[in-house]
Chains A and B, each alone.
Chain A
Amino acid sequence: MVGLISKFMKSEHWEYLRDESRSIGEADSISFPRTEEELEKIVKVLAAEQIPITVQGARTGLTGGAVPYGGHVINLSKMNRITGLRYDHGRFLLRVQPGILLVEVRKALENMQFDTTLWSQESVDALELLKQSGPQFFSPDPTEASASIGGMINCNASGARSYHYGPTRNHIESVKVLLTDGSSLSLVRGKHRTIDGQFRVASEAGNELSGTLPLYKMPDVKNASGYYLKPDMDLLDIFIGSEGTLGIVTEAELSLLPAPAAIWGVTVFLPNQDSALRFVRAVRGEQVDGIRQSDIQLPVAIEFFDARALELLRKEREHNAAFGQLQEIKSHYHTAVYVEFHGDNDMQATEWILSLGDLITSCGGDETDTWVAQNPRDMEKLQFFRHAIPESVNMLIDQRRNTEPFLTKLGTDMAVPDQHLTSMFELYDRRLAETGLEAVVFGHIGNNHVHVNILPRSLEDYQRGKELYLDWAQEAVSAGGTVSAEHGIGKLKTAFLAVMYGEEGLQKMREVKRLFDPKGLLSPGNMFSPVQQER
């Protein structure tokens, strides 16, 4: 085993103590397996000695899921190959190892270039077919494209386009999972299912694993909180979104879709928030008072940026050279909504954009106040604008940490059902005004899922912000929503999970955990522990 497991050296391995949540953990040892065999050996040794294991992908998570709580770190970044391709019932299924990054998968698919040296003949044949079939893509689009596929599966990642295409879960055809007892399960959608919660499945080695999954009510919104539990479900769905607590995903099949020929995006600036919310509801096909029902094709993404976010960007654009290339945000631009269209050709897209212009006018906006991207280069400019908001937030907080080193931003991740969109915004605005807290609001409004980023100026602000966050979480849950729609619970949001499922629900989750990881070795602190003390 010498060679596979290394002693954790802070000077050399410092980066593996942290992720994008900016919290820092600790560890005693670390490994970088390259193959399933190596991984199995490592897990066997660790399990025998009952050493806790934190599994890491690309460490782009925002809730500390990859931050180790002592013990061992298994970093999967070197298990990063594309291992095969399958054509099944009109769909292409790309088989990948968990450490590969989303951006690498995209690049391979765009260039149709794969290292096929270790591929089976079936895979090579499927590749020939793929090349003839025209461009395909893997639709999940988290903002951070350098996320690993394993990480995306473990938090059921989503992005702007999930409004139309759904989260990662919808595009995973099969997974292979290594459990801490050393058994390996291959779980295929449609093939390995639970019936009334009961399942029975054979491991690779031929051992049988069976059990009964408990049940609780899951919110009927975009969700990344707690285990996925339905009466009759695909067994692999229990692992998708399990945040590394049940098993280690060693391989997965990604279900591909034909890539749209025309991708256009528009950022629309509305004169006030009310007008923006009406536009959002109208563009997603809701009946809105005073607006003629539009038969415009549904966008694949609907994103939102409130007046406070635009104001923050205006300031950054002036002072920070890094944002010098941002488009000019005119002073009368109040609230922004981004919508994206996927279609077969530019003519279709042009027609769509012109009817969108009519819709904007009927919502009280002006079609002059829009930025249209008709090609990948201009799409990048709109994306730059979108990314600039969280980045400005981070820079602002960094500045404040110079004087108050304990400050962090407080970013919410809640989603509610459609009918609560307007009332949720009223709640956010009212409570922010009452508490006098500084904040910006942006995110995936198509799914009624916006991130309120509270920007504390002092520790007092920070405390008040945390209380406010908990209040909102309770409100979101009572409206039938979720406390985390995409980031997951990780180590930072465990308190909210109790708000959502209650002690009874947590008990059921522990039951699930015991079924697959009876010794409780995997990803300690994720989902179940108290919130880590802020340093």
Chain B
Amino acid sequence: MSTLQIIACVKQVPASTEVKLNKETNTLIREGVEAIINPFDTYAIEEAVRLKQQHGGKVTALSMGIPSVAELLKQTVALGVDEAVLLSDRRFAGADSLATAWALAGGVRQTGAFDLVICGKQATDGDTAQVGPSLAEKLGIPHTTYVRSIEHVDEKLIRCIRLTDDGQETIEMTLPALITVVKDINVPRLPSIRGIRQAQSAPVKLLTADDVNADEKRIGLKGSPTQVVKTFIPAQTTESELFTGTPTEQAKQLVAKLVARRLVQEGEADGRD
């Protein structure tokens, strides 16, 4: 069969998914928050590299972000990625998922003919899981989310298993196509010394908005239909609370708290619907 041209999308996120609060000043503590590749994207890279090793072809890692993301992209070369491409331009800044999809679509087209785009199921900083499907739409190709294994790939189609709320489904799509992958799909490899040696001299291709012929009205803050109007620190639960009284009294107090926190709902029947 012919070889596969695969694009793995990568996002830079803060290493800590949980930003701590300084309780005295009620502000975010950000010190030492290191930037890493979105953990879910590491499964996308691994799957892309594995497919290439099975079928031959080329893997391109594609990201959008500030220039320093290039260093992270170099790390993907140590893992077996052939080319690293970074969309970096002030005009891309402030993008929501729609504007990000527009920009990435430009980047994907710039890399030439492709068979498969692989994304992580979501990014740990936003948890929206929107860019994958949105990007597929902009590329006009079919997509499947939450893929846990790829059963078959040939020059025309891909057959994969996706997780659902009730179990799993087998989906077949014509290529080119986009999938988003979950952790079950593989175990991302660690780089080898050889990989690190190769990554030392690997170039990262930088693309600006002009390079991908982006419509300025579609990218960055300008191209984002959604806007953040307010951010606030939610009322924090205080230290641990110990209930006293008889078991029934304790149970009543606890249930009241759980209802208040919407963990338990009144009128909810036994068992799941």
Give Cα A373 to B193, complex, Å.
Answer: 10
A531 proximal to B (CB < 8 A): no
With A328-B187, A371-B190 already in contact, 17 other A-B pairs whose C-beta atoms are closer than 8 Å: A327-B187, A353-B196, A354-B197, A357-B194, A357-B197, A367-B197, A368-B193, A368-B195, A370-B193, A371-B191, A372-B196, A373-B190, A374-B191, A375-B34, A377-B15, A377-B36, A381-B190
From the candidates B187, B194, B200, name the one contacting A325 in the complex (CB within 8 A): B187
Distance from B43 Cβ to chain A, minimum over Cβ atoms (Å):
11
Give Cα A350 to B195, complex, Å.
Answer: 12
Known A375-B36, A377-B36; judge A368-B192 contact (CB<8 A): yes
- A360 with B189: CB separation less than 8 A: no
A-B pairs, top 6 by smallest CB distance, nearest first, are A367-B193, A357-B193, A371-B190, A368-B194, A370-B192, A370-B193
Q: How many A-B residue pairs have CB under 8 A?
A: 56
Known A375-B36, A377-B36; judge A327-B196 contact (CB<8 A): no
- B193 with A356: CB separation less than 8 A: yes
Residues of A within 8 A of B187 (CB): 324-328
Residues of B within 8 A of A373 (CB): 190
Residues of A within 8 A of B39 (CB): 377
From the candidates A357, A367, A372, name the one contacting B190 in the complex (CB within 8 A): A372
Tell me the interface secondary structure of chain A in the complex. Answer: mixed
Distance from B198 Cβ to chain A, minimum over Cβ atoms (Å):
10
- A378 with B190: CB separation less than 8 A: yes
Q: Tell me the chain B residues, 194-241 only, with Cβ under 8 Å from chain A.
A: 194-197, 200
CB nearest neighbor in B for A355: B193
- A372 with B36: CB separation less than 8 A: no
Highest count of chain A CB atoms <10 Å: which of B15, B34, B39, B196 = B196
Residues of A within 8 A of B192 (CB): 367-372
CB nearest neighbor in B for A381: B190
Residues of B within 8 A of A350 (CB): 196, 200
A527 proximal to B (CB < 8 A): no
Which of the four size classes fits the interface of chain B? 10 to 19
1/0 contact string of B163-194 vs chain A (CB within 8 Å): 00000000000000000000000010111111
Give Cα A367 to B200, complex, Å.
Answer: 15
Residues of B within 8 A of A367 (CB): 192-194, 197
1/0 contact string of A228-241 vs chain B (CB within 8 Å): 00000000000000
A155 proximal to B (CB < 8 A): no
Give Cα A250 to B15, complex, Å.
Answer: 39
Residues of B within 8 A of A354 (CB): 193, 196-197, 200
| Chain B interface (Cβ < 8 Å from any Cβ of A) | 15, 34, 36, 39, 187, 189-197, 200
Give Cα A324 to B191, complex, Å.
Answer: 19
Distance from B251 Cβ to chain A, minimum over Cβ atoms (Å):
24
Give Cα A353 to B36, complex, Å.
Answer: 21
- A327 with B197: CB separation less than 8 A: no
Highest count of chain A CB atoms <10 Å: which of B36, B190, B194, B196 = B190
From the candidates A327, A353, A357, A377, name the one contacting B189 in the complex (CB within 8 A): A327
A266 proximal to B (CB < 8 A): yes
Distance from A278 Cβ to chain B, minimum over Cβ atoms (Å):
18
Distance from A54 Cβ to chain B, minimum over Cβ atoms (Å):
32
Give Cα A327 to B79, complex, Å.
Answer: 13
16 A-B pairs within 8 Å (CB atoms) are namely A266-B193, A324-B187, A327-B189, A353-B196, A354-B197, A356-B193, A367-B194, A367-B197, A368-B193, A368-B195, A370-B193, A372-B190, A372-B195, A375-B36, A377-B15, A377-B39
CB nearest neighbor in B for A268: B193
Give Cα A7 to B193, complex, Å.
Answer: 59
Residues of B within 8 A of A371 (CB): 189-192
- A372 with B189: CB separation less than 8 A: no
Distance from B177 Cβ to chain A, minimum over Cβ atoms (Å):
27
Residues of B within 8 A of A370 (CB): 192-194
Q: Tell me the chain A residues, 324-353 only, with Cβ under 8 Å from chain B.
A: 324-328, 350, 353
- A372 with B191: CB separation less than 8 A: yes
CB nearest neighbor in A for B78: A372
Residues of A within 8 A of B195 (CB): 368, 372
- A328 with B189: CB separation less than 8 A: yes
CB nearest neighbor in A for B183: A325
Distance from B200 Cβ to chain A, minimum over Cβ atoms (Å):
8
Residues of A within 8 A of B194 (CB): 357, 366-368, 370
CB nearest neighbor in B for A135: B32
Residues of A within 8 A of B193 (CB): 266, 353-354, 356-357, 360, 367-368, 370, 372
Distance from B199 Cβ to chain A, minimum over Cβ atoms (Å):
10
Highest count of chain A CB atoms <10 Å: which of B190, B193, B196 = B193
Residues of B within 8 A of A266 (CB): 193
Distance from A523 Cβ to chain B, minimum over Cβ atoms (Å):
36
Residues of A within 8 A of B191 (CB): 371-372, 374
Give Cα A427 to B67, complex, Å.
Answer: 57
Q: Tell me the chain A residues, 248-304 only, with Cβ under 8 Å from chain B.
A: 266
CB nearest neighbor in A for B39: A377
Distance from B20 Cβ to chain A, minimum over Cβ atoms (Å):
9
Give Cα A369 to B39, complex, Å.
Answer: 23
Distance from B258 Cβ to chain A, minimum over Cβ atoms (Å):
29
Give Cα A357 to B198, complex, Å.
Answer: 12
Give Cα A158 to B39, complex, Å.
Answer: 33
Distance from B3 Cβ to chain A, minimum over Cβ atoms (Å):
22
Give Cα A242 to B170, complex, Å.
Answer: 62
Give Cα A533 to B264, complex, Å.
Answer: 53
Distance from B10 Cβ to chain A, minimum over Cβ atoms (Å):
16
